[in-house]
């Protein structure tokens, strides 16, 4: 259903506002300032409008976020996926991670609110379907999906917070300083990599990490089934 038809027109609706304009402005705020900065008042200021004018188009902030996520999801192309179920599960998981990495505000919203975009559920369908095709039960397939999802969200939340800390700091982080001060007497393994701690933590290993998580999940269940 087109955005403009999602809500009946009300008498007195300001002519310079439309749902598409509101969604575009909200997206700009989310991309540049983050989900915690979006409010109906902040959005009204962005649009040089009164907050009450927005309520002709959306019921509240939650409805606006749902519309935003649905708009984003509808714009995601459906790629041709590998036939092999393990490769398909890895491909969909990586695609989901990288799409969310470019839209970190969605991670913030999903981590704090019970909101979901129906058009994005094909990711879940493909992940569960690939796991079932691999030979597991639907119940375990949901477990696999949830574990991968938690891994993706956790990784991206840490990434968001890490970027904010780096933006605020001009020198080493507190964690880097603590690790640098460790000795081989008490923490021999950490002390051995202390000089490279910041570099190692900054590495982008999401591809290898997700593949390792998926392989572990698939193999672990097979072992349990063979007991």
**Cβ neighbours for 20, distance < 8 A, ≥ 6 positions apart:** 3, 4
Instruction: Find out whether 120 and 99 touch, Cβ atoms under 8 Å.
Output: no
Q: How high does pLDDT run on average in the chain?
A: 86
| Contact (Cβ atoms closer than 8 angstroms) between residue 61 and residue 82 | no
CA distance 202 to 89: 26
Confidence of residue 223 (pLDDT cuts 50, 70, 90): low
Mean pLDDT, residues 64-77 taken together: 91
pLDDT of residue 165: 64
Question: What is the C-alpha separation between 17 and 64, in angstroms, rounded?
Answer: 14
Q: Report residue 208 as tokens.
A: 């290898």
- 85-101 and 121-134 helices, crossing angle to 10°: 160
Q: Can you give the pLDDT at residue 111?
A: 79
Q: Taking residues 94-104, report their average pLDDT.
A: 93
Cα separation of 100 and 152, whole Å?
Answer: 9
| Res 5: pLDDT | 44
Res. 58: pLDDT tops 80 = yes
Longest CA pairwise span in the chain (Å): 75
């Amino acid at each position: 259903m087109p955005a403009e038809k999602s809500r009946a027109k009300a008498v007195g609706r300001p002519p310079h506002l439309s749902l598409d304009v509101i969604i575009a402005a909200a997206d700009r705020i989310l991309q540049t300032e983050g989900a915690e900065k979006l409010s109906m008042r902040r959005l009204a200021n962005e649009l040089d409008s009164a907050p009450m004018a927005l309520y002709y188009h959306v019921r509240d902030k939650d409805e606006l976020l749902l519309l935003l996520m649905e708009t984003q999801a509808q714009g995601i192309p459906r790629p041709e996926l590998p036939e092999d179920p393990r490769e398909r599960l890895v491909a969909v998981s990586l695609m989901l991670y990288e799409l969310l990495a470019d839209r970190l505000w969605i991670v913030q919203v999903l981590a704090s609110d019970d909101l979901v975009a129906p058009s994005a559920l094909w990711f879940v369908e493909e992940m569960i379907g690939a796991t079932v095709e691999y030979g597991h039960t639907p119940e375990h397939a949901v477990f696999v999906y949830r574990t991968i999802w938690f891994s993706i969200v956790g990784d991206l939340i840490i990434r968001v917070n890490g970027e904010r800390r780096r933006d605020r700091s001009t020198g080493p982080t507190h964690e880097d300083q603590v690790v640098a001060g460790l000795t081989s007497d008490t923490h021999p393994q950490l002390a051995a990599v202390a000089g490279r701690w910041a570099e190692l933590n900054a590495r982008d290993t999401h591809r290898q990490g997700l593949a390792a998580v998926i392989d572990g999940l698939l193999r672990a269940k097979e072992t349990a089934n063979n007991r």
